[in-house]
């Protein structure tokens, strides 16, 4: 019998899986993607893509993981013996390692901001936030030390295992994240002129409706749900057979949408109320948000709370990425978890060093006209994730018999048939369209 660790409760699994999905994608990337793509139209398309396409693939990943009860590579090998489907696990391993290598760099930036926010040196002194951000990311010692600190924080949680590490951390972090975001939303929405930000999010300007906006919204839905990197397959492998995966997937997708919208409702009302532009792009969090909070009562404290929230969200995603790598590294040898966690986290840190230095001493090095950081991001989000999600959808839709998938889903005939149609036809075509658009036309 396997002594494989398991989540002790359904809520523990849901919060951990939601934490994996709700990371920089929801809090950092979603607001600037919405801000630069028309706000409301992008948000409507994002919600529809999450529900109609992202959710069915998420169910497929839960199905594969829960049925296999093993790490992704072993799970595919046992469910599809003598077939090459196990390559999905290898794609997930490489993708998670690479994503975490640059994800930890951004996590380090957040820690740098938190240290400054603790001393209230980010607000009230006329700081040039654009210069500050440039100074931080170009300082080789600061970025490397901060990256290492973030990796250590992630490592300490993962090495403790599912029950004592990941589940416990998620049970604390996710409710606190929701609570603090609601408090920040209340403060933001009560500013004079805040309703313009709300209108930007919820009153459609249909002139922004285009094929490009749809592609970007669909890509954001996949990215924010952690689809295609075997993270959800790995988490679901620790899920009891008694739990209903459809309900769990719906809860995870709903929480992801809720946090994304809350992030927008924290940022856009304040941006409009204080006369800033929502189209600032990736610098919105690190440049615009400090500038916004500087003009608010108790701005220093609120800014500290915001970056702590961002750290929570980033850590919960990082532990999912590291857990995929560790689960494959140890297979069923749970006694080796701590040793493997330290070794693999160290390797990922080393792999991430060029990304950390790509805005400073390695800034002159480019790969296909991209910085090292941007190139690693591109390889994972534009190539590995779509391929992983495409193959996962095909596996669940075609390789599984209807008998197996019906038994795993435990859903009504209408829900099951809708799911099967999407994972067989709609999802693969959508992912192929994203892949072709990003690789050949972006």
pLDDT in tens, 328-337: 887 766 667 7
21 — pLDDT class (breaks 50, 70, 90): low
* Per-chain mean pLDDT for the chain: 85
Whether the CA torsion 10, 95, 366, 147 is positive or negative: it is positive
Crossing angle for the helix pair 55-68 and 413-421, nearest 10 degrees?
A: 100
Quote the pLDDT of residue 78: 92
Task: Give per-residue pLDDT as tens, 211-232.
Answer: 778 888 887 888 788 888 888 8
Quote the pLDDT of residue 164: 60
The C-alpha atoms of residue 374 and residue 360 are separated, in whole angstroms, by 14
Measure the CA angle with vertex 259, ends 29 and 244; round to 5°.
115
Task: Give per-residue pLDDT as tens, 287-319.
Answer: 877 877 777 777 788 888 888 878 887 888 888
Is the pLDDT score of 417 beyond 90?
yes
Residue 284 near residue 203, CB atoms below 8 Å: no
**Between the CA of residue 240 and those of 20, 55, 116, 300, what are the distances in Å?**
19, 20, 43, 44
The residue that leads in pLDDT, 418 or 190, is 418
Quote the pLDDT of residue 163: 59
The C-alpha atoms of residue 61 and residue 394 are separated, in whole angstroms, by 11
Domains recognised in the chain with CATH numbers: 10-441 (1.20.1740)
The 3-class SS string of the chain reads CCCCCCCCCHHHHHHHHHHHHCCHHHHHHHHHHHHCCCCHHHHHHHHHHHHHHHHHHHHHHHHHHHHHCCCHHHHHHHHCCCCHHHHHHHHHHHHHHHHHHHHHHHHHHHHHHHHHHHCCCCCCCCCCHHHHHHHHHHCHHHHHHHHHHHHHHHHHHHCCHHHHHHHHHHHHHHHHHHHHHHHHHHHHHCCCCCHHHHHHHHCCCHHHCCHHHHHHHHHHHHHHCCCCCCHHHHHHCCCCCCCCHHHHHHHHHHHHHHHHHHHHHHHHHHHHHCCCCCCCHHHHCCCHHHHHHHCCCCHHHHHHHHHHHHHHHHHHHHHHHHHHHHHHHHCCCHHHHHHHHHHHHHHHHHHHHHHHCCCCCCCCCEECCEEHHHHHHHHHHHHHHHHHHHHHHHHHHHHCCHHHHHHHHCCCHHHHHHHHHHHHHHHHHHHHHHHHHHHHHC
Is the pLDDT score of 270 beyond 90?
no
Quote the pLDDT of residue 313: 79
Quote the pLDDT of residue 138: 93
Residue 307 near residue 297, CB atoms below 8 Å: no
20 — pLDDT class (breaks 50, 70, 90): low
218: phi then psi, degrees, rounded to nearest 5 = -65, -40
The C-alpha atoms of residue 193 and residue 274 are separated, in whole angstroms, by 8
Q: Kindly report the pTM of this predicted structure.
A: 0.86
Task: Give per-residue pLDDT as tens, 77-131.
Answer: 999 999 999 999 999 999 999 999 998 999 999 999 999 888 877 766 667 888 8
Quote the pLDDT of residue 114: 93
The C-alpha atoms of residue 100 and residue 151 are separated, in whole angstroms, by 9
1 — pLDDT class (breaks 50, 70, 90): very low
Task: Give per-residue pLDDT as tens, 166-210.
Answer: 666 666 767 777 787 788 788 888 888 889 999 999 999 898 888
Task: Give per-residue pLDDT as tens, 28-83.
Answer: 788 888 988 888 999 999 999 999 999 999 999 999 999 988 889 999 999 999 99
| % of the chain exceeding 90 in pLDDT | 39
Quote the pLDDT of residue 2: 46
Quote the pLDDT of residue 30: 87
Quote the pLDDT of residue 47: 95
Is the pLDDT score of 18 beyond 70?
no
Burial label, 34 (beta-carbon count in 10 A; 0-12, 13-18, 19+)? buried
Choose among 53, 56, 57, 96: nearest CA to 73: 96
Quote the pLDDT of residue 13: 67
């Amino acid at each position: 019998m396997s002594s494989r660790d398991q989540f002790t409760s359904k809520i523990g699994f849901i919060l951990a899986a939601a934490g994996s999905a709700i990371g920089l994608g929801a809090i950092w990337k979603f607001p600037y993607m919405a801000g630069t793509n028309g706000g409301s139209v992008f948000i409507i398309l994002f919600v529809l893509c999450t529900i109609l396409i992202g959710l069915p693939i998420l169910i497929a990943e839960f199905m594969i993981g829960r049925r296999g009860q093993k790490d992704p590579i072993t799970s595919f090998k046992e469910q599809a013996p003598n077939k090459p489907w196990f390559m999905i696990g290898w794609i997930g391993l490489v993708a998670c390692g690479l994503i975490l290598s640059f994800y930890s760099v951004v996590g380090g930036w957040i820690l740098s901001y938190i240290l400054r926010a603790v001393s209230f040196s980010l607000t009230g002194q006329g700081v040039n936030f654009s210069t500050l951000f440039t100074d931080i990311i170009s300082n080789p010692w600061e970025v490397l030390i901060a990256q290492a600190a973030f990796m250590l924080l992630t490592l300490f949680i993962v090495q403790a295992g599912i029950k004592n590490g990941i589940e416990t951390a998620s049970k604390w972090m996710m409710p606190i994240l929701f609570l603090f975001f609601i408090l920040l939303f209340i403060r933001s929405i009560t500013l004079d002129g805040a309703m313009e930000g709300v209108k930007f999010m919820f009153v459609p300007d249909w002139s922004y409706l285009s094929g490009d906006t749809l592609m970007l919204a669909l890509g954001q839905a996949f990215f924010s749900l952690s689809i295609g990197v075997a993270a959800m397959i790995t988490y679901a492998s620790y899920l009891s057979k008694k739990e209903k995966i459809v309900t769990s997937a719906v809860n995870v997708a709903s929480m992801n949408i809720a946090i994304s919208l809350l992030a927008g409702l924290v940022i856009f009302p304040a941006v409009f109320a204080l006369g800033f532009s929502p189209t600032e792009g990736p610098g919105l969090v690190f440049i615009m948000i400090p500038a916004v909070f500087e003009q608010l009562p108790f701005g220093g404290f609120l800014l500290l709370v915001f970056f702590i929230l961002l750290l929570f969200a980033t850590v919960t995603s990082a532990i999912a990425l590291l857990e995929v790598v560790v689960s494959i590294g140890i297979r069923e040898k749970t006694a080796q978890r701590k040793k493997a966690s330290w070794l693999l986290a160290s390797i990922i840190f080393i792999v991430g060093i060029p990304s950390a230095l790509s805005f400073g001493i390695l800034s002159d090095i480019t790969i296909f006209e991209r910085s090292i950081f941007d190139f690693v991001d591109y390889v994972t989000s534009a190539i590995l994730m779509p391929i992983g999600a495409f193959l996962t959808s095909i596996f669940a839709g075609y390789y599984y018999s209807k008998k197996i998938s019906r038994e795993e889903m435990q859903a009504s005939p209408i829900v099951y048939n809708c799911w099967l149609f999407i994972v067989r036809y709609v999802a693969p075509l959508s992912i192929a369209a994203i892949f072709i658009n990003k690789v050949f036309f972006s």
